[in-house]
Chain A
Amino acid sequence: MNIQTKLSGDRTGLAPTRRDLVVGAVVTGSALLVGCSPMDLLSLGAKKLDFGAFGPFIKIGADGAVTLISKHIEFGQGTHAGLAAIVAEELDADWSTVKVEQSAANIKVYGNLLMGAQGTGGSTAIANSWMQLRKAGAGARAMFVNAASAKWAVPAAEISVKSGVVSHPSGKSATFADLLADAGKITPPSEPVLKDPKTFTLIGTQSVRRKDSQVKSDGTAVYTQDIHMPDMLTAMVAHAPLFGAKVKSFDDSEALKVKGVVQVFKVSSGVAVVAQNTWAAKKGRDALKVTWDDAKAEKRSTAEIVEEYKKISAAREGSKPFDVHGDVATGFNGDLTNFGFDFPYLSHASMEPLNCVAQVDGQKVKLTYGCQGTTMDQTAVGMALGVLPGAVEIETLFAGGSFGRRASPSAEYVVECALIAKKIGGFRPVKLVWDREDDMTGGRYRPMVRHDVSIKVGADGYPAAWRHTVVTQSVMKGVPMPQGKFDASAVEGALGSPYLKATPVVDGHVALADSPVPVLWWRSVGATHTAFVMEHVIDQLAAKAKIDPVDYRRALYKKAGADRHLAVLELAIEKSGWGSALPAGTARGIAVHESFGSVVAQVAEVTMKDGEPRVGRIVCAVDCGIAISPDQVAAQMEGGIAYGLSAALFGAITLKDGTVEQRNFDGYRVLRHNEAPTVETYIVPSGANPTGAGEPGTPVIAPAVANALLVLTGKATASLPFVKA
């Protein structure tokens, strides 16, 4: 979710601000109670959590093995291992026996400190937990040390802990298991002494590896799709073929003849077919005849929307300034260099299509699924069912990817499931299955975007004045979060860019268009397009000025005081062999971008094969503060790049008279084994608090490839994807 401006602005400030705590106040609307904080309201109905002596984040078993209770979902990003390592480091636990469990839904205990609500997103899982879990680990360690001190009658300061063993120079030693009962009676210090990061023995080492690789390699990891409960029903829903259409009428006579179909009824999002199993639900849905009321539906085609955005951009219709500085009135006099860029809708297309399991009986509600936007989902389901949000119990499972998709403010798929389970009633479990077609045609896309950039180039070849207009749909529309003067997530990355900082005159505006097509944050949000525009414009300006693009960036970063940008740039240059000879037909491109508090530079080696760009080696340099797990940071760079490259090469959701033209992986082409690059990741050594890793690798690859193609073909790229369908 969109918090990176806060991270960028104040990388150390992990405490929630007053504004953050307003999250959710909007959803409760007029129900705001005097004297209650929004967190109080959103936790209404919550069960009191019964956690043990070591607090809400740490459980220690009779065998002394430490379990981290994760408030964040694990859907690939490696968060479980990272969070567990923070606790294990400060507690000096035996890492090899550390386990991870998923926490309950409870905003007060398990809220994301950078969001003010419980949820995972904005690459904040590690960043917001860093001090919280260090304190939890250090507090638990102090409990063991104090217990041993009392038992052995020796000063606590003389006691050391290593790998779950507490010892004293006299030769006395005990395991966590030995001291468990005594330690559990000790009150932890309110401000436990934390380690000096220079003395870390686990964090930052190759020992911090995933805890879930075995279960994810033998088929035993449990995802929502795998849930089977006694008496469970499976539901599929016939959704409207056009965005904004509603059910007019339906004929279920054929559907009810399908063996295994139990019930068919209308829900707010379509017509639900409830059956004994998935195949029966699907066949039942196929047999259903629905007539749709499409009076208010989106009926335009993609080309019309592109043209509309161009018009809005040219007229700056209803736009708001996001960065205006210098003498705008005269700064643009003279010749300008103009650029225009068009970006398509993108589907998240996670491997596991959306799904949920719900049980409802009056005020009793239990959801079991890969839950990302915990408080948002509790609130939306609570409102739909007339239940207090805190009373919506959630068991969070692994999710087969998300990339933002499962954190949907309207929680549409969760609410859909809850409403079906309510109709079924009796706390009978209902599994809602969206198939690939539901998932891909269901909207919540990365919005379409238009950028127009006009630059007056100074005598030195660098920008003297930069006019920038962004037109897009807002992913923040209707989101229960504080809305600023403009939607920062639409321009983040242009907003805050060192290039704009280094330019004397800037006139940046954003205009928000509207459509019934729902849009959503998609891995790296605004940076998915702003990084492309900023980085590809820079290479074209450098080429025009006949300056090497690396030297061009260096000059601007120095002017802007962008030291971290400079550091990743230099590291990527050194490791990639920038400037050295390449085989004929291969060219390098570079791009650098900051998002979610981290700065990433990538150098991509690109060739053309069968008329399509093919990316071979990629050198990726990242500054993400302290890298808790260097291997998982590398994995996120590899994965983030593949995700960004897939979209850059092939990704586009298009509409024809309002109908989505891509329904499955045959129409929505994604990166495959034979097209995958080889990524080398290099991490800038840092003593700063950790920043994001899940998203910052994603937006950098597309402009790096475009910049390589500029060298290779002499042609600039004005729209994505590179490969048109």
Chain B
Amino acid sequence: MSIALEINGETLQVEAEADTPLLWVLRDELKMTGSKFGCGIAQCGACTVHADGQPIRSCSTPIEALAGVKITTIEGLGGEHALQAAWVKHDVPQCGYCQSGQIMAAAALLAKTPRPTDADIDAAMTGNVCRCGAYQRIRAAIKDAAATLSA
């Protein structure tokens, strides 16, 4: 099918099968490879993007469900977002593969909850696995970015 997707503020016309998950359209068709493939069944969060501001797992969201939805990916965050600066400041990434998803989940959290508690962070981030175990640095970086954004 041919479908118009609104990604990072641009409307992009995509040719793909209707059941194709957004992740594979982003990665294979649009060559936007920041969102990662980790599990394919919405269990690890590496593919997290925003749909109308809500964090979704793009590996399990077929494009046919996304007409008229505003999608934001890690590429749309700009590279200088307060979260990304905090990630660099704390040297959060190790292998780095999950970090796009972690940052997108955190960005959705901060948009809704500018000063998250530990419980808020647990609730928002528990779907995002990091096998390198950067969890405590991610938590510190989220709090740091929250302070920057609220200042």
A interface with B by C-beta (< 8 Å)? 75-78, 209-210, 212-223, 225-226, 228, 234, 259, 277-280, 349-353, 398-403, 433, 435-436, 631-632, 635, 638-643, 646, 664-666, 670-674, 676-679
Known contacts: A216-B93, A219-B74. The answer to whether A664 contacts B39 by CB under 8 A is yes
- Which A residues touch B110, using CB under 8 A? none
A402 to B94, CA, bound (A): 12
B interface with A by C-beta (< 8 Å)? 16-17, 20-21, 24, 27-29, 31-41, 43-44, 46, 73-75, 77, 79, 84, 87-88, 91-100, 103, 121-122, 125-139
Known contacts: A213-B88, A216-B93, A278-B28. The answer to whether A678 contacts B136 by CB under 8 A is yes
- Which A residues touch B36, using CB under 8 A? 223, 225, 351-352, 400
Whether the pair B94, A279 counts as a contact (CB closer than 8 A) is: no
Closest A-B pairs by Cβ, 10 of them: A219-B34, A642-B133, A400-B97, A216-B96, A76-B94, A76-B95, A676-B135, A216-B93, A219-B74, A226-B33
**Which single residue of chain B is at the shortest CB-CB distance from A670?**
B129
18 CB < 8 A contacts A-B: A217-B79, A225-B37, A228-B28, A228-B31, A279-B21, A350-B97, A351-B38, A351-B44, A399-B95, A400-B97, A400-B98, A635-B134, A639-B132, A642-B132, A664-B43, A673-B126, A676-B136, A679-B136
- Which B residues touch A436, using CB under 8 A? 38-41, 44
Rounded to whole Å, the gap between the CB of B59 and the closest CB of chain A is 10
- Which B residues touch A398, using CB under 8 A? 95-96
Whether the pair B74, A218 counts as a contact (CB closer than 8 A) is: yes
Whether the pair A278, B24 counts as a contact (CB closer than 8 A) is: yes
Whether the pair B126, A672 counts as a contact (CB closer than 8 A) is: yes
Whether the pair B34, A220 counts as a contact (CB closer than 8 A) is: yes
**Which single residue of chain B is at the shortest CB-CB distance from A219?**
B34
Whether the pair A635, B129 counts as a contact (CB closer than 8 A) is: no
Whether the pair B136, A638 counts as a contact (CB closer than 8 A) is: yes
Could you say which of A212, A222, A351 contacts B129, with CB atoms under 8 Å apart? A351
A400 to B124, CA, bound (A): 23
- Which B residues touch A350, using CB under 8 A? 95, 97, 131
- Which B residues touch A212, using CB under 8 A? 93, 96
- Which B residues touch A351, using CB under 8 A? 36, 38, 44, 46, 95, 97-98, 129-132
Rounded to whole Å, the gap between the CB of A578 and the closest CB of chain B is 22
Known contacts: A401-B95, A401-B97. The answer to whether A219 contacts B35 by CB under 8 A is yes
- Which B residues touch A666, using CB under 8 A? 41, 43
A398 to B96, CA, bound (A): 9
**Which single residue of chain B is at the shortest CB-CB distance from A663?**
B41
Known contacts: A225-B36, A353-B37, A635-B94. The answer to whether A217 contacts B88 by CB under 8 A is yes
Whether the pair B17, A259 counts as a contact (CB closer than 8 A) is: yes
Could you say which of B34, B75, B96, B122 contacts A674, with CB atoms under 8 Å apart? B122
Could you say which of A215, A219, A678 contacts B33, with CB atoms under 8 Å apart? A219
Which of A218, A220, A642, A665 has most B Cβ within 10 Å?
A218
Rounded to whole Å, the gap between the CB of B49 and the closest CB of chain A is 11
**Which single residue of chain A is at the shortest CB-CB distance from B28?**
A277
A677 to B35, CA, bound (A): 27
A685 to B133, CA, bound (A): 25
A710 to B36, CA, bound (A): 41
Could you say which of A217, A349, A646, A679 contacts B84, with CB atoms under 8 Å apart? A217
- Which A residues touch B100, using CB under 8 A? 219
Rounded to whole Å, the gap between the CB of A199 and the closest CB of chain B is 26
Whether the pair B74, A279 counts as a contact (CB closer than 8 A) is: no
- Which A residues touch B132, using CB under 8 A? 76, 351, 401, 639, 642-643
A220 to B41, CA, bound (A): 24
A219 to B139, CA, bound (A): 19
